Every structure is written in C-alpha cells, then in structure tokens.
C-alpha cells in the first residue's frame, strides 16, 4: 500500500520561509503533488513533481528525491493568508492514477 | 470554482439511516475520486472510478458503496450510519490520463452529521 508522513503542525513568521517535508512509501510511483486546504474549504492543487529536482511556482517551490522517497514544499515570503493545511499526495499506478494523501501539515503564520 | 459539483452541501441524519451523496465531475473528466475527511484529519481515500468502472478501492467500509453512471456523475451511498461517519466527504475529478500532473479538482464537499 501507500503511506505518507508529514509533520502535523508548523508555525512560522510572516515574511519568513518555511519548509514542509514529506516522506512516502509506495509502489508504482508516478509523482508527488502538493495541495493547500483552508479551514472548511476544498483542497486546491499547488504543484507536482514527477522527476527529481525543484519546481518553482511563484512563492511556492516543491522538491522531489525519488531515490530517498522524499519531497518538500517551500513557501517563501510567507503571508497571513498562507495559514492553511498542506497535504502531499502520491500519484501511483495502482488502480490507474490512484492518489493517496498524507496526513497534512497545519501551517500557522504569525505576525 | 473547480467545476466539480457536490450535493448536498450539508446533511444531518440519524444513526442507522442511509444517505446518498452526489458528484458531478468537471466537463471532460473521466476519473472520479471520493475522499472522507473527519475533523482535523487527513483525506482518507475511499474509492476511484474511471469512465464508469471501479479502478481503486481504499479503506471503504462495507456499509458504503459507490458507482459512476454513464453520464460520468457519481454517487456515494452510506448506509447503517454511525456517529463516527460524521465527516466531510469530498469528490474530486481528473482527466484520468497518465500524462500531465494528475491534478485533482475538488468539489466543495458534503458535510455529513450523524446524530
């Protein structure tokens, strides 16, 4: 099966940089995605890594190391609106593009 | 607006009852996923359909069942409801192709409260 681990909570200061780590175990790995979810809202897609390396999208970057089964999401120039839960998700070939989510990291941005 | 529609948005029912949650995927998406999210918990994968066929099953209880219809909308049926079934149920859709990012587009969820 699949399993993903993330820290449960992270607190960071407005304007700072924060990194949220994700380790995973899976078979038939396709790629690692990141989603953001504000309280009571729907998860929204942030980024995707299929190959090793860094992908940058504005203030957000995501990194993947397939050999280490590890990835992270980097948020720069933190804003108060970035306070949310962040989920990593593994896309695997099991069941044709099955997507399994991690436990989620609750990020609190403080002034 | 993700383009994924879920109904109802809120549902309150009693233990032992049966409910049906409905999902209309984005236009053109063939894959539909169902996830359960209990309070302050992660997204638990329940089941996935692709073009009408079941493709993957997660830790879905035997009391729960789902199907995807020819018009690609999907329904999740929850029966013999228990207090612990109270949760936010999300539907998501994707094109289902192997290429691309595999981005899932989520509906706003159906909040089920079992009393």
Torsion, CA B94, CA B98, CA B103, CA B109, rounded to 10: 30
Query: Which of B56, B94, B101 lies nearest to residue A94, judging by beta carbons?
Result: B56
Over the stretch A40-86, which tens digit does the pLDDT of each residue have? 899 999 999 999 999 998 999 999 999 999 999 999 999 999 999 99
- Give, rounded to a whole angstrom, the gap between the first and last alpha carbons of chain A: 40
Instruction: For residue A84, report the phi and psi dihedrals to the nearest 5 degrees.
Output: -175, 180
Quick check: B99 pLDDT over 70?
no
Q: Give the pair of three-digit tokens for residue B83.
A: 């207090």
Closest by Cα among A84, A40, A93 to A60: A84
Cis before B8 (ω within 30) = yes
Nearest CA in chain B to A41: B108
Query: Which of B57, B92, B102 lies nearest to residue A48, judging by beta carbons?
Result: B102
Q: Chain B closest CA to A66's CA: distance in Å?
A: 16
Over the stretch A16-28, which tens digit does the pLDDT of each residue have? 999 999 999 988 8
CB A42 to CB B98 under 8 A? no
Instruction: Give residues with Cβ within 8 angstroms of B2, minimum separation 6.
Output: A42, A44, B26, B105, B106, B107
**Higher-confidence residue: B95 or A79?**
A79
| Disruptive mutation site among B30, B47, B56, B98 for chain A (greatest number of A CBs within 10 Å) | B56
Name the β-bridge partners of B9: none
Gyration radius from chain B CA atoms? 13
Instruction: Give residues with Cβ within 8 angstroms of B106, minimum separation 6.
Output: A42, A43, A44, B2, B4, B90, B91, B92
Kindly list the residues from chain A whose CB atom is less than 8 angstroms away from the CB atom of residue B107: 42
**Distance from C-alpha of B36 to C-alpha of A86, rounded to nearest angstrom:** 16
């Amino acid at each position: 099966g699949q399993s993903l681990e993330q820290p449960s909570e992270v607190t960071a200061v407005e304007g700072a940089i924060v990194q949220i780590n994700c380790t995973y175990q899976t078979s038939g790995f396709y790629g690692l995605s990141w989603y953001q979810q504000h309280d009571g809202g729907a998860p929204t897609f942030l980024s995707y890594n299929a190959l090793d390396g860094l992908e940058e999208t504005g203030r957000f970057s995501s990194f993947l190391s397939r050999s280490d089964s590890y990835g992270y999401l980097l948020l720069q120039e933190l804003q108060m609106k970035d306070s949310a839960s962040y989920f990593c998700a593994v896309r695997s070939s099991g069941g044709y593009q099955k997507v399994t989510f991690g436990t989620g990291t609750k990020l609190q941005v403080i002034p | 607006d993700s383009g994924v529609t879920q109904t109802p948005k809120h549902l309150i029912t009693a233990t032992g009852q049966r409910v049906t949650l409905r999902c209309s995927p984005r236009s053109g998406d063939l894959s539909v996923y169902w996830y359960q999210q209990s309070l302050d918990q992660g997204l638990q994968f329940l089941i996935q359909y692709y073009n009408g066929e079941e493709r993957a099953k997660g830790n879905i209880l035997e009391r729960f069942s789902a199907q995807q219809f020819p018009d690609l909308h999907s329904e999740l049926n929850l029966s013999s409801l228990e207090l612990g079934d109270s949760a936010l149920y999300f539907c998501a859709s994707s094109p289902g192709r192997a290429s691309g990012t595999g981005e899932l587009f989520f509906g706003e969820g159906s909040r089920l409260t079992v009393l």
